[in-house]
Structure 1
Amino acid sequence: MHHITLISTVHEENGKCNSDELCEIIEKISPEVIFLEALENTYSDYDKMRFSSFGVFHKKLEISAIQKYSFNTSFKYIPVLDNGLSDSFEKKYNIVCEKRELQNLIDNFESLAAKHGFKFLNSIDSIKLHEEMRMLERRILNESEIEKVANEDIDAYENSMIRNIYSYCKTNKFNTAIFMCGVAHRKSIIEKIEEFKAQEEIDLSWTIFGE
């Protein structure tokens, strides 16, 4: 049976959201496979050489945690992104982040993440605060074309990650895995997991960390 735990993360260290805390979570689950929201070249051969030869940790929080996990455990690392976020996503956020009201919500979210760490990121409160941000974004963008295109691109971005996980599971055997993905995707990824369960022939057992 393939069992996968979804863990919501951030990509840069922030208070209790750090690689040591994340590594502790990973060690408790003890995955044989680690799926990560990352491109193939995010953790390059050069990065791997710097770590193995000189102990230089990666700047991406999740990869730094994976490197620490590798000290005592062997596992398979699988980056699951086909492409990065599109230009439309950047254009959307350049518009909405100019608004002080949204920046205040972001600052509050980051403060709670720094104080409470991954317990907060993987909570219903985290989802609620992100939904509040999304509602404000929709009011700011007012159903503009850039909002429509950006949302379609994000949907495709998330679907590709889930598809790649299912594709790997069809041809590889393991008991326990984790999927680490940015917290901004938490609600929609949980919804997509349920959709894929109904569509896909292979039966994956999912656990949502924090629930």
Structure 2
Amino acid sequence: MNINIYLVSTVHREKGNCTSERLFEILNKIKPDVVFCETSKQLFEDFKKGLIHSSLEFNAIEKLSKYHSFSFVAIDSFPAPSSIFRKQVEELFGIINQDEKFSNALKKNNENTHLFGFEYLNSDESIQVFDEMSEREKNVISQLENLEYTNVYKNWLSVIDNRENEMLENINSYVKNNEFETAVFLVGAAHRKAIFNKIKVNKNIQLKWNLEVAK
């Protein structure tokens, strides 16, 4: 039996028309048996304890639970980077943000998210804007000619790649061990293109992916 799984690109904080209420409406329309989410078990536990108050996805999931029964699966199990590495990445992107073309693409992404919400985040235009930012990142790094920054950036891309791989592996593992018909995968819009490409390369024949969800 094929399982319908909806890839819903999102952001982790409310921005303009990208709200937890709108995400709830999308989820409630799908009525999934399972919600896979780009988060860790610890973060979700912290939310339930009231230690985290602002999460677009968690707020939408909490409201959905009042109307519909489903299983929630936190699938981001890759170890978090060290505080030192996160500080290095933050410093690096502080430099990248000074690039005019990068900052323009970032501004465009933020404006489109505010104006069009999930319709934008789940569109080809969103992928194109993230591609623009990625190309500018690489361009800035190459111009810096700084080995330390180059290594930090390579390691950062490796962390993202490994997280995406592990999330998809966790989904596949859950599919093998559980019976259900419909699922949703909530993941940050920056991962959309890579996730889609990895789905095509490492296709799980049990999963029928649906990308048309935010209309």
TM above 0.5, yes or no, is yes
Structure 1: gaps spanning 5 or more residues: 51-55
For residues 40-65 of structure 1, give each alpha carbon's deviation from its aligned partner in whole angstroms, at most 9, with x where no partner exists: 11111x53255xxxxx9941101111
Letter of the structure 2 residue corresponding to residue 208 of structure 1:
L
Unpaired runs of at least 5, structure 2:
none
Q: Does 1:82 align with 2:77?
A: yes
Give distance in 2, aligned partners of 1:82 and 1:102.
30
Q: Which amino acid aligns with 2:59?
A: S
The one-letter amino acid of 2:202's match is F
- Sequence identity of aligned pairs in percent? 35
1:72 aligned partner: 67
- Corresponding residue of 2:95: 95
Query: Which of the residues 172, 178, 184 maps onto 1:172?
Result: 178
Decide whether aligned partners of structure 1 residues 33 and 118 sit closer, same or farther in structure 2, where only a CA change above 3 A counts: same
Maintained 8 Å contact 1:123/1:210: no
Q: What one-letter code is carried by the residue in structure 1 that aligns with 2:191?
A: H
How far off its partner does 1:204 sit? 1.4
Task: Identify the residue that residue 42 of structure 2 maps to in structure 1.
Answer: 41
1:7-26 to 2 correspondence within 5 Å? 7-26=8-27
3-state SS of the aligned residue for 1:7? strand
8 A Cα contact 1:91 1:146, kept in partner: no
In 1, Cα distance between equivalents of 2:164 and 2:139: 23
**Inter-CA distance 48–147: structure 2 relative to 1 (3 Å threshold):** closer
Q: Which residue of 1 aligns with 2:119?
A: 119
Alignment correspondent of 1:53: none
Cα distance, 1:104 vs. partner?
A: 2.5
Contact residue 7 and residue 186 of structure 2 kept, 8 A: yes
Q: Deviations over 1:99-131 (max 9, x none)?
A: 343223212211111101100110000000110
* Residue range with higher mean Cα deviation, 126-135 or 57-66: 57-66
How many Å apart are 1:191 and its aligned residue?
0.4
Verify the 8 A CA contact 1:32 1:174 in the aligned structure 2.
yes
8 Å Cα contact 1:92/1:150 also seen in 2: no
The answer to whether the 8 Å contact 2:26/2:213 transfers is: no
Q: Secondary structure at the residue paired with 2:202?
A: helix
Partner of 1:204: 207
CA contact (8 A) 1:2 1:204 kept: yes
Question: 1 CA distance for matches of 2:92 and 2:112?
Answer: 24
Does the C-alpha gap of structure 1 residues 27 and 181 become closer, same or farther in structure 2, counting only changes over 3 Å?
same
Partner of 1:163: 169
Letter in 1 for 2:22: E
Structure 1 residues 71, 57: closer, same or farther in 2, change over 3 A? Answer: farther
Partners of 1:85 and 1:154 within 8 A in 2: no
Matching residue's letter, 1:41: Q
* Pairing 1:152–2:147 present: no
> What corresponds to 1:188 in structure 2?
194
Residue 15 of structure 1 aligns to a residue whose secondary structure is coil
Superposed displacement of residue 153, structure 1: 1.6
- Is the partner of 2:130 in helix, strand or coil? helix
Show the counterpart of 1:63: 58
**Hey, what's the Cα distance between the residues in 2 that align with 1:134 and 1:82?**
25
CA pair 90-160 structure 1, distance change in 2 beyond 3 A: farther
**Structure 1 vs Structure 2 CA RMSD:** 2.2
Q: Aligned equivalents of 2:156 and 2:92: distance in 1?
A: 7
